[in-house]
Each structure stands twice: as structure tokens, then as C-alpha cells.
């Protein structure tokens, strides 16, 4: 079949999909994979997860009718195929580009996206809420929640399952079991599902159950995996989780067999009871590089479609430096342990895990548990470094307050991807952590200006022995500053003055310290002398430096990769107000709204966070509040 006559080109809606002969659907799946591999090679994105759900997505849209029926995808990073089949195929090349398709499901993007997501574990609760509302309204639509097995390491999934039986009689959960979240799944749940999938006893019952399905559904349903009766299950698998929670369990079945999936969904949609279908899929299926390295191809930038190779990085990322540095420290300090929530590669801790496997803990997608687990270790004299992306650390806020800070436990909170997370969009931007951390008594918080200072801060954290200490650092690389072989201890609450000036004081936090330097250069060309200060410390503030420059300049300006509401600038404003200093303050950061997806350069330009735009705002503020002296007055 020529490229011009592809089946895929004739699909602009699920209705078009339903017109294709079932025998041709495997060919459609092949075309979708080819389109994904070729397009994402140019844009980057979540390739592996989407290659693994091609057949599943085809079968769901073949049997169910969106947008009337509701299909929720947990996390929704595996929603690219869904988007292709619901009228957005021609825009696939805009995926994760500014103004293009979002990398996750988005209610404002399509009526077929019934629920937005970006974090794990939300689908079951949200779907159950939809089912309850349907029942109250006397509706007939189907509600389907698709969750990967990694979502079942997330406590909120079980909170939802605990309420299913009491809430509705019509509810379908698809457990997409591929043994991976971003990294290899860990824990008892992953082992439990694997035992079900590989049990010889279950294989025998699978065949017997198929005869039952043939009896009720005819030859066409012969391959449908049948249910194991409760008594038999209790003998073979004591305490079967799902049926004990009130969901009839079916499976496991091949998640890449389209006819089998279609027959199964047609059967299950007739059931008047909550059901869970366990399917087995391969992450990255159909693309050898993605199957060989599922963690790498979970989400990545541009790559060669032929080989799967990505361009080598020019400098180590903050995450890579973190993993190596912490492993180095642990060589000489047996108290140091590393904890993460399904992010060993993303946080750089895979390096730590290789060198210190006995002191590395990946608890799965369970941020709340991770924080409590670290707290428990700290009570016994260990020094846990809890590494979680800023956007996901939000989930552990209560534990940071109630369990870590209130008890003054010696836990190091390491927030990767703090600040803008670019192409991943609003569900992944780390723009709120300063606001919630600085409100907690006893927490020390910092952000480095470059890689060298990052290592110094990690060393300072490792040698801090009283209470919680937090560090936030951005995605990707920094200025390229090479850390010294011997890190130095930093004085807590002491800023670094980079240059002096008498007109404006620029407090550039973290990666915005470099921006502050560029702004100062632009202002100097116009005779405006700017001081540049690297605050280092979010809490406690260097009150001495702040008050010195606030009293000695005509304007204080804070710059941060964080929302202005509640951020570093807000802390400065509160301190100036408390001390009665009336020097005008200009706070530069991200506005009080959810920031869309797009490259950092595009978004900074749009929201006025380039050096040129910031310099212009400073000039305007100086002119408005405190006019410049006449020409020649500045010596």
C-alpha cells in the first residue's frame, strides 16, 4: 500500500475507524507505529508508552463511542494514539511544540479528552466520579479507566478501588501491564501481577475458562480469557486483591491482539458489575531500540528514526551531576541513602544505585510513602536524600509538613526539574515549590546558580545534621561550570555578591543569576549601575545583604524561575515590609497562571523573561518611581 493510500490517512474520527474491516486493523496499527517513530524522531516525546498501546487504543475506539463514552488514560502520556484517532492526526508533528498538541490529554484541546492528566494514579478516582455522576443523572454511557501497572504502586489508585463496589455497578478498569513505569516497576504489586501472568496453574485455568466463554459467546469469543471462580482463586492465589475489592477480574490477555481485545471489550461492556481487565503489553513494541531501552524511550528528545540514537550531550545535566556526586559522598559516608519515586534514571540516581545498591530505594510512584519512608530512616540516624521532580513533590506536601518538618527530621529534599519544564507543559512545570516550602517552619531551602555551586550545596546538605533542608535545581544543563574536586561548605543564609552597583540591585535566584548578569550588562550601557547578587538561600534570606542593597540603591529587583505569587520575590517583599524599608521592589518571574507547553526560549520571550525585556521593565520602573539624575550626575 502506498503512502498516499494508507488506512491512517482516512481516519479523522473514531467513526472512520469503525468503517475499516477488522482484518485490516493490524495494518493500521503498523501504520500508526511508523507515523509515531518517524514524527517523534523530529519532535521528541513519549515514544515507548505510545508504541505499547497502539492495539489497545484501536480496540477501545472500535468498541466504545467517544466523546459520549468516557475513556480516561492514567498519566495520559500514552495518549498520542488516542489523539491520532480523534481528529488530531495531521497535527502530530506539533506535539509538545508551542501552540501545538499537548503531550498529555487536555480537556480544552478536544471533546474526546474527557479528563486532563499528567500525574499518575488519577484515572480511577476521576473515572469513578464520572460513573457516579452518570448513575445519578440516569445516563447510559460507559466509563473506562486505563491505568498502567505502575499506577497500582500509587496509593490513590487503591483509595479509588476501595470505593468502587459501593459507588457503581457499571465500571471498567483496564490494567495495562507492561512491567514499567518510567523505570522497571518495583514492589510487591509488580511481583504479584507477574505471578498471575506467568503461573502454570493459571495457564491451565485460562484454557478451561475459554471453553466457558465459547459457551456463552460463541466461537468468536473462544480466545477470551475467562474468569477464575472465586473459590478456585482463593486456593491458588490467596487474598486476590481485585475481587476482594469488588471488581470482577478478567485476564491476563494479550494486549496486542486486536480481535481478542475487541471481543473482550464487547463482552465486558455488557456486564452489570465493576470489572477489571488485565492485559499484557510491551513498552516500545515494534521498535527495537525502544524495546531494548524502555526507560530511555519513555520520554526523550530528537533521535535517529533508523538507529534510535540521540545526540550526545555537551555537558552533564544537573540530574547526572546529582547522581554521581551523591554516590561519591556515599563512598565515605555510610549514613547517606537515596530514595526516589519511580525516577531512578530521571533523577540521576541510577548511578547511585549501581555503586550503592544496598542504600538505594525506588518505592514506585508513591511520593507520599517515599517522604514518610525517608522520615522513618532519619529517626534512626540515616541521612536520606529524597529525589523527586518538583511537580511530583507537591504530592508529598503533607508529609513534609507533618512528618518531616514538625519532627525536625534530617531529610534532604532534592527537587529536580524545578522551574519551567518546557515541552512537558503545565502538569510538569515546577513553579510552585518555593511558595509551599518557605511557608513551613524549620525548612532550609536553596538554589544554586551553576553546577559548581550545586555540588557545594549538596556537600552542605550532606553535612547538615539538624532538620530538613531542600534544594531546587532546573532541568537539563546549567552554565557549564565544572565542580571542583573538593566541595566547600556554604554558610547557611549568606548570599554571594557578584558585582556592586548603586542604581538597582538584581537578586537573581538560581539559573536566573546568569540572566541578572546579562540584564546588568544591558543597563550599564545606558549608565544604570546594577548590583548583581546570587541569593543562594530562599530560606533563610540573607537579611544583611538584602537590607544593605535595598538601602543603597533606588530599586530592588528579584528574578526567579518560579511563579511570582508566593515565590522568592514575595519573601523579599515581606522582609522589606517588616523592616520598614520603602525602596521600590520589582518582582520578575512567571505570572499567576498555568503556563502552557513550549520551549523555554519561546515561553521566556512571551512572558517577558528575556534579559532585554527585563532591562526594559527596570528602566520603566526607575523612570516611574525614581527618575534618573540629569546627564552627567553619575560619576
**469: closest CA among 394, 410, 427?**
410
Q: Is the pLDDT of residue 138 over 50?
A: yes
In a domain, 181, yes or no: yes
Average pLDDT estimate for 565-585: 98
The C-alpha cell of 406 is what?
Answer: 514538625
pLDDT greater at residue 361 or residue 190: 361
Choose the weakest-confidence range: 195-199, 248-252, 295-299, 309-313.
Answer: 195-199
Instruction: Return the CATH number at 577.
Output: 3.40.50.920
**Residue reference for cell 477480574:** 249
Give the structural domain span for 574. 496-625
Active site residue 395: yes
Choose the weakest-confidence range: 16-25, 151-160, 356-365.
Answer: 151-160
pLDDT at residue 166, rounded to an integer:
95
pLDDT at residue 219, rounded to an integer:
43
pLDDT-derived band at 178, boundaries 50, 70, 90:
confident
Select which of 179, 367, 514, 560 is catalytic. Answer: 367
Q: How many CB atoms lie within 10 A of CB 179?
A: 18
pLDDT-derived band at 626, boundaries 50, 70, 90:
low
Q: How many CB atoms lie within 10 A of CB 195?
A: 12
How far apart are alpha carbons 17 and 418 in whole angstroms?
A: 41
Q: Where are the alpha helices (DSSP H) in 553-635?
A: 568-579, 600-606, 611-625
**Final residue before a domain boundary, out of 298, 328, 349:** 298
153 and 268 belong to one structural domain = yes
pLDDT at residue 191, rounded to an integer:
61
Task: Report yes or no: 46 and 310 within 8 Å, Cβ to Cβ.
Answer: no
- Burial category of 53 from C-beta neighbours within 10 Å (exposed 0-12, middle 13-18, buried 19 and up): buried
Can you give the three-state secondary structure of 322-366, one letter per residue? Answer: HHHHHHHHHHHCCCEEEEECCCCCCCCCHHHHHHCHHHEEECCCC
Q: What confidence tens digit (pLDDT) does each residue in 437-446 have?
A: 999 999 999 9
CA end-to-end span of the chain, whole Å?
77
Q: Is the pLDDT of residue 630 over 70?
A: no
Model pTM? 0.88
In a domain, 491, yes or no: no
**202: closest CA among 244, 245, 237, 249?**
237
82 and 44 belong to one structural domain = yes
pLDDT at residue 189, rounded to an integer:
60
**Residue reference for cell 469503525:** 18
Q: Is the pLDDT of residue 214 over 50?
A: no
Average pLDDT estimate for 151-163: 91
Q: Is the pLDDT of residue 199 over 80?
A: no
In a domain, 458, yes or no: yes
pLDDT-derived band at 215, boundaries 50, 70, 90:
very low
Q: What confidence tens digit (pLDDT) does each residue in 348-388 have?
A: 999 999 999 999 999 999 999 999 999 999 999 999 999 99
Query: Within the chain, what is the greatest distance between any pair of CA atoms?
Result: 98
In a domain, 184, yes or no: yes
156 and 272 belong to one structural domain = yes
How far apart are alpha carbons 256 and 29 in whole angstroms?
A: 10
pLDDT-derived band at 217, boundaries 50, 70, 90:
very low
Q: Is the pLDDT of residue 212 over 50?
A: no
Average pLDDT estimate for 156-183: 86
In a domain, 630, yes or no: no
377 and 254 belong to one structural domain = no
Q: Is the pLDDT of residue 201 over 70?
A: no
346 and 290 belong to one structural domain = no
Select which of 83, 88, 283, 536 is catalytic. Answer: 283
367 and 424 belong to one structural domain = yes
186 and 324 belong to one structural domain = no
Q: What confidence tens digit (pLDDT) does each residue in 294-346 have?
A: 777 777 778 888 888 887 777 899 999 999 999 999 999 999 999 999 999 99
How far apart are alpha carbons 622 and 461 in whole angstroms?
A: 39
In a domain, 569, yes or no: yes
107 and 27 belong to one structural domain = yes
pLDDT at residue 293, rounded to an integer:
80
Active site residue 367: yes
**546: closest CA among 567, 511, 577?**
577
**Percent of the chain scored above 70 by pLDDT?**
88
pLDDT at residue 289, rounded to an integer:
84
- Which residues are bridge partners to 275 per DSSP? 172, 248
In a domain, 214, yes or no: no
Q: Is the pLDDT of residue 246 over 60?
A: yes
- Mean pLDDT (the chain, rounded): 89
In a domain, 478, yes or no: no
Q: What confidence tens digit (pLDDT) does each residue in 57-106 have?
A: 999 999 999 999 999 999 999 999 999 999 999 999 999 999 999 999 99
468 and 600 belong to one structural domain = no
How far apart are alpha carbons 127 and 115 in whole angstroms?
A: 9
Instruction: Indicate the pairing of strand 530-534 with strand 555-563.
Output: unpaired
323 and 460 belong to one structural domain = yes
Average pLDDT estimate for 472-499: 96
Strands lying side by side in the sheet with 469-472: 360-362, 336-340, 383-389, 412-416, 469-472, 444-446, 537-539
The C-alpha cell of 596 is what?
Answer: 502552557
Average pLDDT estimate for 557-567: 98
The C-alpha cell of 170 is what?
Answer: 457499571
Q: How many CB atoms lie within 10 A of CB 192?
A: 16
Instruction: Return the CATH number at 157.
Output: 3.40.50.970
**Residue reference for cell 538597582:** 504
Select which of 134, 296, 395, 417 is catalytic. Answer: 395
424 and 573 belong to one structural domain = no
Average pLDDT estimate for 521-531: 97
DSSP conformation class of 277: E
pLDDT-derived band at 190, boundaries 50, 70, 90:
low
Q: What confidence tens digit (pLDDT) does each residue in 253-290 have?
A: 899 999 999 999 999 999 999 999 999 999 889 888 88
32 and 158 belong to one structural domain = yes
Count structural domains, the chain: 3
Map residue 412 onto helix, strand or coil: strand
Amino acid at each position: 500500500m502506498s503512502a498516499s493510500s494508507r488506512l491512517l490517512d482516512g481516519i479523522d474520527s473514531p467513526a472512520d475507524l469503525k468503517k475499516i474491516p477488522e482484518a485490516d486493523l493490524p495494518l493500521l496499527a503498523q501504520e500508526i507505529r511508523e507515523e509515531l517513530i518517524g514524527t517523534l524522531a523530529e519532535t521528541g516525546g513519549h515514544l515507548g508508552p505510545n508504541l505499547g498501546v497502539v492495539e489497545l487504543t484501536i480496540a477501545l475506539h472500535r468498541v466504545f463511542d467517544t466523546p459520549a463514552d468516557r475513556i480516561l488514560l492514567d498519566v495520559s502520556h500514552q495518549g498520542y494514539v488516542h489523539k491520532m484517532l480523534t481528529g488530531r492526526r495531521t497535527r502530530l508533528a506539533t506535539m509538545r511544540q508551542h501552540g501545538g498538541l499537548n503531550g498529555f490529554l487536555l480537556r480544552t484541546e478536544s471533546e474526546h479528552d474527557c479528563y486532563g492528566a499528567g500525574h499518575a494514579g488519577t484515572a480511577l478516582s476521576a473515572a469513578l466520579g464520572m460513573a457516579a455522576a452518570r448513575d445519578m443523572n440516569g445516563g447510559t454511557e460507559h466509563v473506562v479507566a486505563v491505568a498502567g501497572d505502575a499506577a497500582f504502586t500509587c496509593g490513590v489508585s487503591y483509595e479509588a478501588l476501595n470505593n468502587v463496589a459501593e459507588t457503581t455497578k457499571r465500571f471498567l478498569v483496564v490494567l495495562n501491564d507492561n512491567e514499567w513505569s518510567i523505570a522497571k516497576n518495583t514492589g510487591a504489586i509488580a511481583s504479584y501481577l507477574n505471578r498471575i501472568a506467568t503461573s502454570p496453574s493459571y495457564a491451565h485455568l485460562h484454557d478451561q475458562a475459554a471453553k466457558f466463554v465459547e459457551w456463552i459467546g460463541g466461537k468468536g469469543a473462544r480466545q477470551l480469557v475467562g474468569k477464575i471462580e472465586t473459590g478456585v482463586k482463593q486456593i491458588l492465589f490467596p487474598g486476590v486483591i481485585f475481587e476482594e475489592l469488588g471488581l470482577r477480574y478478567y485476564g491476563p490477555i494479550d494486549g496486542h491482539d486486536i480481535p481478542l481485545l475487541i471481543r473482550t471489550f464487547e463482552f465486558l461492556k455488557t456486564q452489570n458489575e465493576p470489572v477489571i481487565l488485565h492485559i499484557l503489553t510491551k513498552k516500545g513494541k515494534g521498535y527495537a531500540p525502544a524495546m531494548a531501552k524502555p526507560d530511555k524511550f519513555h520520554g526523550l528528545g530528537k533521535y535517529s528514526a533508523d538507529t534510535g540514537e540521540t545526540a550526545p550531550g555537551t555537558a552533564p545535566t544537573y540530574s547526572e551531576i546529582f547522581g554521581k556526586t551523591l554516590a561519591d559522598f556515599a563512598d565515605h559516608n555510610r549514613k547517606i541513602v537515596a530514595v526516589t519515586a519511580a525516577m531512578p534514571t530521571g533523577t540521576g540516581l541510577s548511578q547511585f544505585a549501581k555503586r550503592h545498591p544496598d542504600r538505594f530505594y525506588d518505592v514506585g510512584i508513591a511520593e507520599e510513602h517515599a517522604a514518610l519512608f525517608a522520615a522513618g530512616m532519619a529517626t534512626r540516624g540515616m541521612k536520606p536524600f529524597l529525589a523527586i521532580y518538583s511537580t511530583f513533590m507537591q504530592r508529598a506536601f503533607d508529609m513534609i509538613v507533618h512528618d518531616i518538618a514538625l519532627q525536625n527530621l534530617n531529610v534532604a529534599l532534592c527537587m529536580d526539574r524545578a522551574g519551567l519544564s518546557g515541552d512537558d507543559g503545565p502538569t510538569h512545570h515546577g513553579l510552585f515549590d518555593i511558595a509551599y516550602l518557605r511557608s513551613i517552619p524549620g525548612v532550609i531551602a536553596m538554589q544554586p546558580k551553576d553546577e559548581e555551586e550545586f555540588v557545594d550545596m549538596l556537600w552542605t546538605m550532606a553535612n547538615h545534621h539538624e532538620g530538613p533542608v531542600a534544594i531546587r535545581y532546573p532541568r537539563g544543563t546549567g552554565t557549564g561550570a565544572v565542580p571542583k574536586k573538593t566541595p566547600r561548605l556554604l554558610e547557611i543564609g549568606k548570599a554571594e555578591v557578584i558585582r556592586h552597583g548603586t542604581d538597582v540591585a538584581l537578586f537573581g535566584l538560581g539559573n536566573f543569576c546568569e540572566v541578572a548578569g546579562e540584564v546588568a550588562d544591558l543597563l550599564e550601557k545606558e549608565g544604570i549601575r546594577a548590583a548583581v547578587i546570587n541569593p543562594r538561600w530562599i530560606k533563610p534570606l540573607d537579611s544583611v545583604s538584602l537590607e544593605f542593597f535595598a538601602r543603597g540603591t533606588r530599586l530592588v529587583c528579584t528574578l526567579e524561575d518560579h511563579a511570582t505569587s508566593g515565590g522568592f520575590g514575595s519573601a523579599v517583599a515581606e522582609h522589606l515590609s517588616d523592616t520598614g524599608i520603602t525602596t521600590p521592589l520589582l518582582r520578575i518571574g512567571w505570572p499567576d497562571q498555568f503556563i502552557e507547553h513550549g520551549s523555554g526560549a519561546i515561553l521566556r520571550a512571551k512572558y517577558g523573561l528575556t534579559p532585554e525585556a527585563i532591562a526594559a521593565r527596570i528602566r520603566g520602573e526607575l523612570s516611574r518611581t525614581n527618575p534618573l539624575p540629569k546627564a552627567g550626575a553619575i560619576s
